[in-house]
Amino acid sequence: MTCPQCKKDTVQQYRPFCSKRCADIDLGKWFSGDYAVPSEDPEDQEAAFEAMTSLLRTQPRDS
């Protein structure tokens, strides 16, 4: 098995990754939204729309 980040051989301690660094890179991608599980659930879409609308309302506008 190879590391999904760098393609080196995996290490049992960090499997499926080769190191803590590659595991942390992957975790960072999940946190930043680079990876997402698609959903067609209308409730999920509505919640995402409401969250974005709320965020846009709280952001200061450029003059």
- 5-56 pLDDT, tens digit per residue, is 999 999 999 999 999 999 999 999 999 889 887 767 778 778 888 888 888 8
Q: Is 43 annotated as a binding residue?
A: no
Half-sphere exposure of 16 (CA within 13 A, CB side): 8
Using only the alpha carbons of the chain, give its radius of gyration.
18
Q: Is 7 annotated as a binding residue?
A: no
Task: Identify the pLDDT of residue 14.
Answer: 95
Q: Is 61 annotated as a binding residue?
A: no
Q: Is 6 annotated as a binding residue?
A: yes
